[in-house]
Amino acid sequence: MTSLPGVRDGGLADGAPLRREPLARALAALNDDKTETRVVGGAVRDLALGVAPGDFDLATTAHPDEVTRRAHAAGFKVVPTGIAHGTVTLVRNGQPLETTTLREDVETDGRHARVVFGRDFIADARRRDFTINALSLDRDGRIHDPLGGLDDLAAGRVRFIGDADARIREDYLRILRFFRFSARFGGGALDPVGLGATVRHKADLARLSRERVRAETLKLVVAPHAPPVVRAMGERGILGELLGFCDPGRFERAAAIESRGDLGTDAVLRLAALCVRVVEDAERVALRLRLSNAEADRLARDAAALLRLHGADQAPDEAALRRLAFAFDVQGAADALMLAQADGPAGSDDAGFRRARRFLSETPRPKSPVAGKDIVARGVPAGPRVGLILRAFEASWSEAGFPSDAATIGRLLAAAEASSPADGQ
């Protein structure tokens, strides 16, 4: 077996995580000569890779009522988060440990499963999605790997457990998880058996809640090897089922720009690079993924800002950048700048675009010297006309280069007032 940084002689190279609270306390409470409890799933995978897990999940042979009794005795708060499926969450010092009694699915409709409790860790492993997620770790630091997950993890393979079509029919979200895990752990290479199964079931993505699809999509687009995976999804019609029109080539160019060093990885911006060119695109994506108001507003703002840079073959000058930042805020301007670079002929390391991004990051958004109250003070009645005058002033002030002298400001304000209809329409 190819070596992994977190594995030595079939166990953890560093057992310190098992000795930390509250995990150590939970394992002590839920292990004895009658019951066994192990760390399972993604935490074991991450530890094998030498990465600190974000959280820990446990699987146990104890029934939920016994887990609850023991956990209370050990000082945990117990929350019945999924009691129908044998899951309770143990909480101590604000840290949760999701704990699930070993179980087997006996009936599923692709979204929900009916289960029976059991005591077989291998059977529990077989009901999981991918071999790299079927690892378990006992309290002594031994890694149990009945399905070859460590070999797959070391080789960068993401494989469904058993029959890929059957695994997908159990939960259609596994279509997206296949691509996300391949982009994160598989180096971008896609297992052909799993890929074929996802294509056969792509229409079933419509069965999933938009919230679940949103969560997976935003994780996928920022994965380390997202560009080749996203391209494969586009070529096989998966992206069309999810989002409608998409441009994987533009996404690749945007990711390359990010990788050049002065941009962080940003899920919403990458989503914009993948499938937003005009405001209508932003509205479509926001609806399909049920994005938050803030995410939807950002996509719409990015699309509107990008129109100001349409056809740009080089970075805008500083005056244009200040106007863009004033109209769409600094983030909107920076987003549009990156999208324009991805759309144009400039390379991913273009010096002009780097300078433009640096200018935006170092230059505050211009602040208008006129507010609505100033217009009212000039004798304009409060109402819609105040807003019209303010917008007209700001447009002319921006085009004039944001002058600061009182005389010019007064002249521009008077012109804005004169050009605004008296009825405010």
Would you write out the chain's pLDDT as a tens digit for each of its 425 residues?
458 999 999 999 999 999 999 999 999 999 999 999 999 999 999 999 999 998 999 999 999 999 999 999 999 999 999 988 899 999 999 999 999 999 876 666 655 666 678 899 999 999 899 999 999 999 999 999 999 999 999 999 999 999 999 999 999 999 999 999 999 998 768 999 999 999 999 999 999 999 999 999 999 999 999 999 999 999 999 999 999 999 999 999 999 999 887 678 999 999 999 999 999 999 999 999 999 999 999 999 999 999 999 888 999 999 999 999 999 999 999 999 999 999 999 999 999 999 999 999 999 999 999 999 999 999 999 999 999 999 999 999 999 999 999 999 999 999 999 998 876 55
424 part of a folded domain: no
Q: Are residues 354 and 380 in the same domain?
A: no
Q: Are residues 183 and 299 in the same domain?
A: yes
Q: Are residues 125 and 151 in the same domain?
A: yes
161 part of a folded domain: no
| Number of domains within the chain | 3
264 part of a folded domain: yes
162 part of a folded domain: no
Q: Are residues 17 and 140 in the same domain?
A: yes
Q: Are residues 77 and 132 in the same domain?
A: yes
Tell me, what CATH number does 28's domain have? 3.30.460.10
User: What three-state secondary structure class fits 50?
Assistant: coil
**Which of 319, 341, 362 represents a domain boundary (last residue)?**
362
Q: Using omega within 30 degrees of 0 as the cis cutoff, is the peptide bond preceding 22 cis?
A: yes
Backbone angles phi, psi at 350, to 5 degrees: -60, 125
User: What is the separation of C-alpha 65 from the centre of its chain, rounded to a whole number of angstroms?
Assistant: 35
In degrees, to the nearest 5, what angle opens at C-alpha 160 toward C-alphas 159 and 165?
Answer: 135
Pairing mode, strands 56-60 and 95-101: parallel
Q: Are residues 230 and 358 in the same domain?
A: yes
Dihedral sign (CA 406, 411, 414, 419): negative
56 part of a folded domain: yes
Rounded distance between C-alpha atoms, residue 284 and residue 5, angstroms = 43
Q: Are residues 141 and 19 in the same domain?
A: yes
342 part of a folded domain: yes
Q: Are residues 261 and 307 in the same domain?
A: yes
Backbone angles phi, psi at 317, to 5 degrees: -80, 175
**Which of 120, 155, 190 represents a domain boundary (last residue)?**
155
Q: Are residues 355 and 384 in the same domain?
A: no
Q: Which residue is associated with the tokens 């190819």? A: 2
Q: Are residues 347 and 214 in the same domain?
A: yes
Residue 385's domain comprises: 372-419
Secondary structure string (H, E, C) spanning 131-160: HHHCCEECCCCEEECCCCHHHHHHHCCCCE
Q: Are residues 228 and 304 in the same domain?
A: yes
289 part of a folded domain: yes
Taking CA atoms, 393 is separated from 184, 379, 387, in Å, by 49, 16, 10
Q: Are residues 177 and 146 in the same domain?
A: no
